[in-house]
Amino acid sequence: MSDRLTRDDVAKVAELARLVLTDAELDTYTDQLGAVLDHAADVAALDLADVPPTAHPLPLVNVLRDDVVAPCLDRDEVLAQAPAVEDGRFRVPAILGEEP
Amino acid sequence: MTTVENLTHEPVEGEHFTITSDTTGDTWEIVVGLEVHCELATATKLFCSCPNVFGDEPNTNVCPVCLGLPGSLPVLNRNVVELAMRLGRALHCRVEPSVFARKNYFYPDMPKDYQVSQYDQPINVDGWLDLPDGTRVGIERAHIEEDTGKNTHAGGSGRIHGADYSLVDYNRAGVPLVEIVGRPHIRHPEQAKAYIDELRAILLATGASDAKMEEGSLRVDANVSVRRVGDAALGRRCEIKNLNSLRSLGRAIEYEARRQVDLLESGEVVKQETRHWDEGAGRTRPGRSKEEAEDYRYFQEPDLVPLDPGAEWIAAVDEAMPALPAQRRTALAEAAGVEPTATAVVVAVQRDLDELALTAIAAGGDGGRVLLHVEHNLAVEGARSLDPTHFAQLVTMEVEGKLTATQAKTVLSDMVESGKAPDVIAAERGFEAMDTSELEGIVDGIIAESPDEWADFCTGDEKRRGKLQGFFVGKVMKATRGQADGKAVNAILESRRLAAG
Amino acid sequence: MADLPTTAVDIAAAVRAGEVSAAEVLDAHLAAIDAREGEINAFNLVLADEARAAAAAVDARVAAGEDPGPLAGVPLALKDNLCTRGVPTTCSSRILEGWRPPYDATVVQRVAAAGAVAVGKTNLDEFAMGSSTENSAFGPTRNPRDPERVPGGSSGGSAAAVAAGFAPISLGSDTGGSIRQPAALCGVVGVKPTYGLVSRYGLVAFASSLDQIGPFSTTVADAALLLEAVAGHDPLDSTSIDAPAPSLLDQLDRGVQGLRIGLVTELMGEGIAPDVAARVRQAADALAAAGAEIGEVSVPAASYGLSAYYLIAPAEASSNLARYDGVRYGLRVDAPTTAEMNAATRTAGFGVEVKRRIMLGTYALSAGYYDAYYGKALKVRTLIVRDFEAAYERFDLLLSPTSPTTAFRFGEKVDDPLAMYLNDVCTIPTNLAGHPAMSVPFGAGADGMPVGVQLLAPALGEATMFRAAAAVEAAAPSLEEAWS
């Protein structure tokens, strides 16, 4: 079990989530998130070694569909909603990093 | 990505690619593990009914699901499961119940900014691939995941660095992939290429993929490390990306291995990183280095339910499995009485001529000669439609001495073109059997015609004899219109010379 | 207006019989909207023109002798996180302001095919995260019973629209109580169906393993009618139960004779306002009088539900909301690089509560913390499922308050996340288990504001649940009846 959430933790998490926080916000969120996690400490303290996780409430398995083509969206309708378009493609600013 | 540690199959001791250091005299070996992504040859994408097609106008094969629009949901394509299982079983994997997981990271070619993949419960585990040279390469897993869209970089150099902006096409987003993770059992750049060749043959045989590196339906990343020969521990590895051809794969592995040896010998460490192969410069370059490894925050995909194909489906896949290259090599090798690693066998299967060869051998053709022809004389259009019985006949005629090797080659070529039987062709061309006494008669005649040269031949030194041999053989060939068997002529000349001496 | 039917059941019957036109029914409701919408702010968008066209189409079908559907001419409001083709769907967020989906949600298609007339897109807490609708980027919705108080959330707009008479029925979504709690606070009926009973295709996702779409109405019968129209298998949703819609309307008058109903101990004590608890006991007495066997049952894991929920839901949400990156639709705040553009867009486009939950969820999933938080929460979920299973061996239904308190005042809790999260303590366990539950109005609390009682059923237990709901409804004191 880890210690209480730190300001650094929140800063790292904000970066992972592509959010920019001011210093004041960083402090506020650290407090508030810390409080929620403290409350969740009751869960973290339980010994559930023998309990399997339930990722999903439904007992469904093997939901499959046939490999048959269906109509696509109209490209114009799709691109009409885009913030920036060029040559039938979505335009974005310079990408610095590579695909992980 | 699980770390590469536990070698459950030690590779066969073979010819390693070793680098001997000039400075220290140490001998180093390369350790390579390949990660291959194959696009599956389905009609529609992994989670939606958009066409799975290469080369269409940008953003015309998209829908709410593969665009990741708010509110959209994935539904798994049955044929993806079928093909993934075929591929897995062809690689001797166990098919297990599996789930999908989200791999979370931001990148503009990812419509949802997470990729649906498989993480700790993949569909295919613990298989292997036998290479033609006999090496067994372990397969850790082969799991299902979705492909991303494509970025093109505009402005600047056209490469990502220095680009002003980028343009994104989502036609490829959601195309089904199987990622095959090979264990680090490869020790040689040629082995790596052989692995890819073999894998490609399997993908084509099972219909799982059209496996074209140039179209991106087969993508290879190489994990390369080095260690001193005899060391048990693995060195730190680098992942090499941007390998667009087999040639690049081989060159990149060799370059990277030498780079690492140089580093380690000068007392430095190999930094574990992703590197890119620069084909033009012939070297690898570091990718954009990150302070920490990306945290993908994997968790089970809540919009999908688990997948459990069951024993019946697996059995059906096994039943329908076509003959795979390794099996074909074994079958041909057994029939011909040679090792499955023999070049002729490997080549025969690669050229899809093994069935022809098997039938010809079954029809009585000598295995060795059949294979020889397949290897050297049948790399031609139409060879596959050669009549195997005729082929067997031809080989038998050869073995019985009715045709010389040269004649057989000619007849064979004619057979492929015309479809006629070998005896018919031999007759047409006048390739009659020349029996020994006839040939002796002709040789004696030639000897009688050139008494001075004959005297010289009998008494001269080795060098002189060699030259004159050519003279006599040439004359015999002319007299027999090339139908004499060179070996037989030499034997007769030699016996006459000895008799004269 | 006095002559016109007011419930969905009555409107549909009258329109189908040709007694009344869809157009006049619509006009009456548009007038109601005109009169009070300025005060209530239930809608992000009123669709007057589209509604008129839809009503006309229904009337034309009736005139042509064609079947106009089971919801013929019934005005209906849609929570603004349901995709409506060509019509802005904002999720009450700046980041989707003006976005027009190129497709309809399955439930939107189904209600249209049933002849319903969509009158507008209702306000919600941004991306369905909240319990008061104070987290909307477009201003709060006010409780029609008392405009100084919240309507609850996150489906505050859909609840208020029905409570204010803007539409007899509406659709909302429920992830941790977001239909039931506002229903209770506004004094209307609200139902969260069994997980998988109603298609989520086209519902903008908050927490995928918890979200469900469900009806608001003024009567139990109307909720049954609407749920029948939208429920049933959808091949576009892999988590959709492979079964047709259940038959519910014909269950309503079966009564509760012999039904075993258990009051949930953990949800009747500390943390529940005394007047609310009293109303629940009153409802229990009424059910007993109607022939049900009332008992008490403990669902111990329910007390861990809040913690588990506030790890699981934000975790899924952090992933579901990653797609809002300024690339393909919605808000974009420009920057020199894509990564900076993503960050600038999301920072400007998301409100405080959404950011809070995204960060909480990202943290709960991150390397080193997964096992302690998210991983543990999934195990707590198993305990909750088991506890409910045990409870349903002894009882057919469970009973509890829907909300710990009646509607609170604006600003009272919005700055204290934990206090706000406690609003969901009664409703969350059923989302975690995937079970159905519904809130039925049962008189007023000490402050004169509505109280709702919650009925809980095992998975696919809607028929039994609706039977009991009808009995509760029949015995419910009116709002005007003073508290004693």
Active site residue C79: yes
**C369 and chain A in contact, CB less than 8 A:** yes
C371 touches chain A (CB under 8 A): no
Q: Which chains touch B (3 or more CB pairs under 8 A)?
A: A, C
The Cα B388–Cα B358 span in angstroms is 8
DSSP track, B302-323: TTS--B--HHHHHHHHHHTPPP
Measured CB to CB, residues of chain C less than 8 Å from chain B are: 81-83, 89, 91, 96, 99, 101-103, 105, 200-205, 207-209, 235-239, 315-316, 318-319, 322-323, 325, 327-329, 338-339, 342, 362, 365-367, 370, 374
Distance from CA of B172 to the nearest CA of A (A): 13
Distance (Å) from the alpha carbon of C67 to chain A's nearest alpha carbon: 29
Q: Tell me the C-alpha distance between A81 and B279, whole Å.
A: 39
Q: Across chain C, what does the average pLDDT equal?
A: 96
Residue C99 CB contacts under 8 Å (≥ 6 apart), including other chains: A81, B70, C88, C89, C90, C329, C330
Give per-residue burial for C228-264: e unless 16+ CB within 10 Å, then b.
Answer: bbbbbebebbbbbbeeebbebbebbeeebeebbbbbb
Check C319 against B75: CB less than 8 A apart: no
Dump pLDDT digits (tens) for A23-52: 999 999 999 999 888 888 888 788 899 999
Distance between CA atoms of B419 and B467, rounded to whole angstroms? Answer: 41
CB C262 within 8 A of CB C394: yes
Q: Which residues of B touch C209 (CB under 8 A)?
A: 302
Sign of CA dihedral C53, C58, C63, C65: positive
Tens digits of per-residue pLDDT, C203-212? 999 999 999 9
In contact, C153 and C146? CB cutoff 8 Å: no
- As for how many domains chain A has, the answer is 1
CA-based nearest distance C119→chain A, Å: 24
pLDDT surpasses 60 at A1: no
The residue of chain C nearest to residue B161, with distances taken between CA atoms, is C337
| % of residues, chain A, pLDDT over 70 | 97
Active site residue C208: no
Residue A36 lies in a domain: yes
Run means of pLDDT, 10 residues per run, chain B, 501 residues: 31 60 82 97 98 95 98 98 98 98 97 97 97 94 98 74 86 98 95 96 96 93 94 93 93 95 92 92 83 83 98 98 94 94 92 93 93 89 88 91 86 90 87 74 89 88 88 87 80 87 66
Nearest to A78 among B62, B75, B295 (CB): B62
* Chain B residues inside the 8 Å CB shell of C237: 73, 75
Conformation bin of residue B198: beta by default, left when phi > 0, alpha when psi is -120 to 50? alpha
**Run of H or E residues at B118:** none
With beta carbons under 8 A apart, name residues in chain A contacting C385: 54, 57
Residue C48 has pLDDT above 60, yes or no: yes
Q: 3-state secondary structure string, chain A?
A: CCCCCCHHHHHHHHHHCCCCCCHHHHHHHHHHHHHHHHHCHHHHCCCCCCCCCCCCCCCCCCCEECCCCCCCCCHHHHHHCCCCEECCEEEEEECCCCCC
B292 token code pair: 């920490």
Which residue among the candidates C132, C136, C155, C178 is catalytic per the annotation? Answer: C178
Q: Of the candidates B226, B325, C417, B124, which has an alpha carbon nearest to the alpha carbon of residue A31? A: C417
- Which of B37, B56, B66, B305 would best serve as a mutation to test chain A binding (most A beta carbons within 10 A)? B305
pLDDT for the residue B15 = 53
When CB atoms are compared, the residue of B170, B302, B305 closest to A61 is: B305
DSSP three-state, residue B164? coil
Q: Which residues in chain B have Cβ-Cβ distances shorter than 8 Å to C204?
A: 70-71
Q: Chain C contact for B156, CB < 8 A?
A: no
Look at residue C1 and tell me whether its pLDDT is greater than 50.
no
| Structural domain range at position A39 | 7-44
> What tokens does B424 get?
């018919």
Label the pairing between strands B165-169 and B150-154: antiparallel
Q: How confident is the model over A68-87, as a mean pLDDT? A: 96
| B94: β partners | B125
Flag whether A11 is in a domain.
yes
Which two tokens mark C484? 């004693």
Nearest to B70 among C204, C207, C339 (CB): C204
d(CA C222, CA C111): 13
Neighbours of chain A (3+ CB pairs under 8 A): B, C
Residue C235 near chain A (CB below 8 Å)? yes
The catalytic residue among C21, C93, C132, C154 is: C154
A23 within some domain: yes
Q: In the complex, which subunits touch C with 3 or more CB pairs below 8 angstroms?
A: A, B
Q: Which of C180, C168, C66, C182 is nearest to C124 (CA)?
A: C182
Tokens 């009715």, located at residue: B402
Q: Does any CB of chain C come closer than 8 Å to the CB of residue B114?
A: yes
User: How many Å is the maximal CA-CA distance in chain A?
Assistant: 57
Contact B297 C328 (CB under 8 A): no
pTM above 0.95, yes or no: no
| Residue A21, beta-bridge partner list | none
- The partner residue sitting opposite A13, judged by closest CB among C307, C362, C377, is C362
Which CATH number is B436-500's, of 3.10.450, 1.10.10, 1.10.287, 1.10.1760? 1.10.10
Could you give the CA distance from residue B140 to residue B34 in angstroms, rounded to a whole number? Answer: 11
What's the pLDDT tens digit per position in C409-446?
A: 999 988 888 888 888 999 999 999 999 999 999 999 99
E strands, B334-451, are none
Phi and psi at C258, nearest 5°, equal: 85, -10
For residue range C449-459, list pLDDT tens digits in order: 999 999 999 99
Q: Quote helix, strand, coil % in chain B, to nearest 5.
A: 40, 20, 40
Element (H, E) at C441: strand C437-444
SS3 of B31, please?
strand
Angle made by CA atoms B151, B153, B159, in degrees to the nearest 5? 115
Inter-chain CB proximity C203 and B71 less than 8 Å? yes
Q: What strands, in cross-sheet order, belong to the sheet with B101-104?
A: B114-117, B101-104, B299-300
What tokens does C96 get? Answer: 């989707």
The token duo for C175 is: 């992830």
d(CA B163, CA B182): 34
* Burial annotation C279-315 (CB, 10 A radius, 16+ → b, else e): bbebbbebbeebebebeebebebbbbbbbbbbbbbbb
The CATH 1.10.10 domain(s) of chain B lie at 436-500
Per-residue pLDDT tens digits for C111-153: 999 999 999 999 999 999 999 999 999 999 999 999 999 999 9
* Joined tokens for residue C256: 């509760």
Using an 8 Å Cβ cutoff, are B48 and B80 in contact?
Answer: no
CA quadruple C89, C95, C99, C103: dihedral sign = negative
Please give the pLDDT value at position B439. 84
Contact B111/C323, CB-based, under 8 Å? yes
Probe site for chain B from C198, C241, C323, C338 (most B CB atoms < 10 A): C323
Tell me the C-alpha distance between A39 and C431, whole Å.
20
**pLDDT tens digits, one per residue of C377-391:** 999 999 999 999 999
Predicted local distance difference test score (pLDDT) of residue B11: 43
- Render C123-178 in DSSP notation, one character per residue: P-SGGG--SSSTT-TT----BTTBTTB---SSSHHHHHHHHTTS-SEEEEEESSST
CB contact under 8 A, A65 and B304: no
Q: How confident is the model at residue C2 (pLDDT cuts 50, 70, 90)?
A: low
Give dist(CA B54, CA B44) in Å, integer.
12
Cα distances from C436 to residues A61, C99, C336, in angstroms, run 21, 32, 49
Say which CATH architecture domain C8-233 belongs to: Alpha-Beta Complex (3.90)
Q: Which residue from B50, B20, C329, B85 is spatially nearest to A84, judged by alpha carbons?
A: C329
Separation of alpha carbons C79 and B103, rounded Å: 30
